[in-house]
Structure 1
Amino acid sequence: MHRYLLLLNELESLIESGQWKDGEKLPSIRTLADRYACSNSTIIRALAELEHRHMIYSVPKSGYYVVKSAYAPSLKPSGVINFAASSPDPDIFPYLDFQHCINKAIDTYRNDLFIYGTPQGLPSLIQVIQKQFRDYQVFTQPSRIFITSGVQQALAILAAIPFPNQKTKVVIEQPSYHLLIEYLETHQIPAIGIERTARGIDWDELERIFRCENVKFFYTMPRFHSPLGTSYTKQEKLALLELARKYDVYIVEDDHMADFEEDSKADPLFAYDQSARVIYLKSYAKILLPGLRVGVAVIPEELSRAFTQYKRLMDIDTSMFSQAALEIYIKSGMFERHRHKIRSCYAKRSRLLAASIQQHFGHRFPGIVSACEVKQPMIHTHIMLNERISLSPIITRLKKDGVLLEPIEKHYLKHFPKRNLLKLNVSNVKETDIETGIAKLADAIGDSLERSGLRISYGMS
């Protein structure tokens, strides 16, 4: 990341966090240059951008000052602690940056916006994504990259098209992406569930399914599984690829949380694939906004013709407007700046989440509830309760206390045995609210345990 963008993020953070108060005069350009070991011109450029964003203002012959009340409202507790929502925090969204990209897209592609594009996507965006994907260790040709209306559309197409292995069934982790589950059941596509827990999956059972069932593809979230929050190890990824090769099964890898990875050695399944078995999916919904509706699918050559045909019949092409804005956003360096900022923010929240669970469950129920060591910005996780504890009264009570939680039923196939799990997601919870929300959750579960005389376990499903 460019030094200028890192500096801009740091100065912006000082204002947003309140370390530089409303109306406070900023240190001099020379002082900032010494503090951050950069040139005066870099400081001036960063200050000019902050002024453009209306975060600071300049006074001739005096210096720069923080604009009053620019960010104070977003720092206050919201009154509702929403552990159910998984969308990005609107307070972190780069409105000014993206507004600029939208305006630039209209100017740059004004003619293209009034005609239909191609089912594969905007060619210039595909070139940009090909380059960006190298950072994710996804090396591929432009001909294999398809722009879709979110990952959900790519999954719908893959579930519908015939595969070279001429098989028909879909294997899906349980729990998993609820909209794919709903799609499979609505369209009566044969689906087989395999349980995934904090410990992983039963590899012997997966091999049995691959060997005995007519499996078209296996849908998986190897990295930061939603809603569990867990990831596969390199050894598990290699084992999965070997099973896919051995039994002629394709792997659909949903890497929707790739932008939050901090471990440079944690590569996607796609990076280890030697037999063109992995179909790689990437969404921009978690880091930008769901309304953008831009996803990316890397499709094996033998599937590209069918994928193109089905996509063309489904929507002709993905929104040119969204594609053009995203292209400019990535090319300008704004995406990389935002990714660094949101990853840092979510890392703080994930550490607070883990610490709060350890504090309120570990002390209250020693040896029963344990907090996972946070090595990644894991913004979602789960708590498992004894099957005899009813979640409904707990969720209802917490809602009255301003804490929103969501049960996990919709993340399971209808006839698959369901664990008694609660999802916890902090992407929309302020840092100041996390500990309060977990404390209220612990009290509610504690009261339920006292009435039932049962125990719970955390992260050991």
Structure 2
Amino acid sequence: MVDAEDLDVAKPLRRTVLSKYSLIIDYIRNLSEEEKIKTGQKLPSVRLLADKFQCSTLTAVRAYKELEQEHFIYSVPKSGYYLVSKHEKKEDLSKSSIYFSTVLPDIRVFSYDEIHHCLNQVMERDRMQLFSYGEIRGLSSLIETLMRHLQDYQIFCKSNQIVVTSGVQQAVNILANLQFPNGKNTILMENPTYDRMIKNLQLYSARTIGINRDFNGIDLGALEKIFREEDIKCFYMVPRFHDPTGGTYSMDQKKEILRLAQKYDVYILEDDYFPDLDTNTRNDPIYSLDNTNRVIYLKTFSKILLPDLRIAAVVLPEILIPQFLKYKQCTDIRTSVLRQGALDLYISNGMFKRSVTRLRNIYKDRMDYLKDICSSFDSEILDVNIPDTGFFLSMRSSKPIDYDIMLSKFKKDDIIIKDIRESYLQKNQAVDLLKISICKTDNSQIKEGILKIYNYFLNQRTLPAKRSKDYVT
């Protein structure tokens, strides 16, 4: 738990109940920091921890497993868990800096050995296929596996509708160049949005306009006005765990967006890159609501597994498939057969499901910990929006942020923050948003970094700034 003296504010923290899992992790870290347990000394048994925290032994084992994956402790079969030396901890955990900037997977919680095993198995099993370019549409066995796998996300489609690409950006590149049945030419994007997608479309001279989005979503009245008055070919959107706000649309919002798209003949590009981490089993994608074949579903496997995997699946309306494959043959060519085979094996043997279940629990616990830390923050100084799970959250300042000064200050404090100014379509736009990623931070780093960030804005207190308009070109 966080103490009031950690903040430059007199207001006491609201005490919330952390998960027993997080409390155990903090307890073991405190034993080490206070040197109540020495290097190489045996840690409390699983049964002792379960009794102390009134939880199951499975919860205690899970806490120990995360600390082991972080190289904070190590296990000895039939003996127990022991504290790693301080020298090793500093090297392995890279404690010198707190990285709130990256959305790359945390190698400490990633099942590298399982992916490595799958790659080796494919090398042995499919060696002849590795000497060919493979099929334009993608490896047939992977497509069949993906068709079944996507049903877990309520995506029901035919196998011929699925095309494997070298990432979502490559799929959107192709879609931006296709002539859609509505004959329109402008791509609508959320503002802010994923910065690389903006650069990607600008590089290919695609005409784009934006609609403002915050943690709670978009102005649906403004959306209808844009659909009615502009030449909107498609709407590129990230319905859940939006980058950079971290927000997720409600089902009512999704239904209304789809209704408006149908009314004004607009296609939807649904970039659903993190369905695996969602704890809400009823939070279905927009694709599942569509009965008019105007939602194009995009799902990457790089973010949740390995960035270098470079594999995404796109589910297309049948009318767009011939055009899409024609463009893919010239631009994306054929996605790596080795990587496709490894992903096929990783999903079909159950490794993927086990891995994402573990990750979902880890990141949910980190978000719960964040909610406890931020519970006493004054929202007029820093309005914090924390999702139930996912990789990042957003903070909104009461005034536009001078990013150059802020980044310089945080760098001196060994806090690395993402500069999200490039996540906006308009250059030189006043930005009051801060994106915080918890991909590679443990609880002690989260606490230290978040409190320093809040205290920075506490010292910058001014009158609230005016919000920008809902429609940017």
Relative to the length of structure 1, the TM-score reads 0.82
Answering whether residue 350 of structure 2 is matched by residue 333 of structure 1, we say: yes
Please name the residue that 1:411 is paired with. Answer: 423
Unmatched tracts of structure 2, length 5 or more: 1-20, 32-36, 51-55, 59-68
Secondary structure (helix, strand or coil) at the match of 1:110 reads: coil
Aligned match for 1:425, one of 430, 433, 437: 437
In structure 2, distance between residues paired with 1:126 and 1:238:
28
Answering whether residue 402 of structure 2 is matched by residue 401 of structure 1, we say: no
Answering whether residue 358 of structure 2 is matched by residue 346 of structure 1, we say: no
Answering whether residue 447 of structure 2 is matched by residue 435 of structure 1, we say: yes
Q: Relative to 1, partners in 2 of residues 1:426 and 1:57: Cα closer, same or farther, differing over 3 Å?
A: closer
In structure 1, distance between residues paired with 2:341 and 2:452:
45
Give 1:443 deviation, angstroms.
2.0
Q: Relative to 1, partners in 2 of residues 1:264 and 1:409: Cα closer, same or farther, differing over 3 Å?
A: same
Letter in 2 for 1:329: Y
Please name the residue that 2:389 is paired with. Answer: 377
Cα deviation digits, residues 376-425 of structure 1 (max 9, x gap): 21431222224455232122111111001123211111359443211111
Q: Relative to 1, partners in 2 of residues 1:78 and 1:99: Cα closer, same or farther, differing over 3 Å?
A: same
Please name the residue that 2:204 is paired with. Answer: 187
Letter in 1 for 2:236: Y
Letter in 2 for 1:85: T
**CA contact 2:147–2:156 (8 Å) conserved in 1:** yes
Secondary structure (helix, strand or coil) at the match of 1:104 reads: helix
Aligned match for 1:267, one of 284, 290, 295: 284
Unmatched tracts of structure 1, length 5 or more: 1-9, 38-49
Cα deviation digits, residues 189-241 of structure 1 (max 9, x gap): 11111111123212122112111221110000111111101111111111011
Relative to the length of structure 2, the TM-score reads 0.80
**CA contact 2:190–2:236 (8 Å) conserved in 1:** yes
Give 1:74 deviation, angstroms.
8.2
Superposed counterparts of 1:209-358, under 5 Å: 209-358=226-375
Letter in 1 for 2:336: S
Aligned match for 1:446, one of 442, 450, 458: 458
Give 1:105 deviation, angstroms.
0.9
133-142 or 409-418, larger mean C-alpha shift = 409-418
In structure 2, distance between residues paired with 1:235 and 1:444:
37
In structure 1, distance between residues paired with 2:244 and 2:400:
22
Give 1:446 deviation, angstroms.
2.2
Q: Relative to 1, partners in 2 of residues 1:69 and 1:237: Cα closer, same or farther, differing over 3 Å?
A: same
**CA contact 1:384–1:419 (8 Å) conserved in 2:** no
Please name the residue that 1:132 is paired with. Answer: 149
Aligned match for 2:404, one of 368, 389, 392: 392
Q: Relative to 1, partners in 2 of residues 1:105 and 1:284: Cα closer, same or farther, differing over 3 Å?
A: same
Please name the residue that 1:47 is paired with. Answer: none
Please name the residue that 2:15 is paired with. Answer: none
Q: Relative to 1, partners in 2 of residues 1:416 and 1:79: Cα closer, same or farther, differing over 3 Å?
A: closer
In structure 1, distance between residues paired with 2:44 and 2:162:
46
Letter in 2 for 1:439: L
In structure 2, distance between residues paired with 1:297 and 1:82:
31
**CA contact 1:358–1:369 (8 Å) conserved in 2:** no
In structure 2, distance between residues paired with 1:121 and 1:418:
43
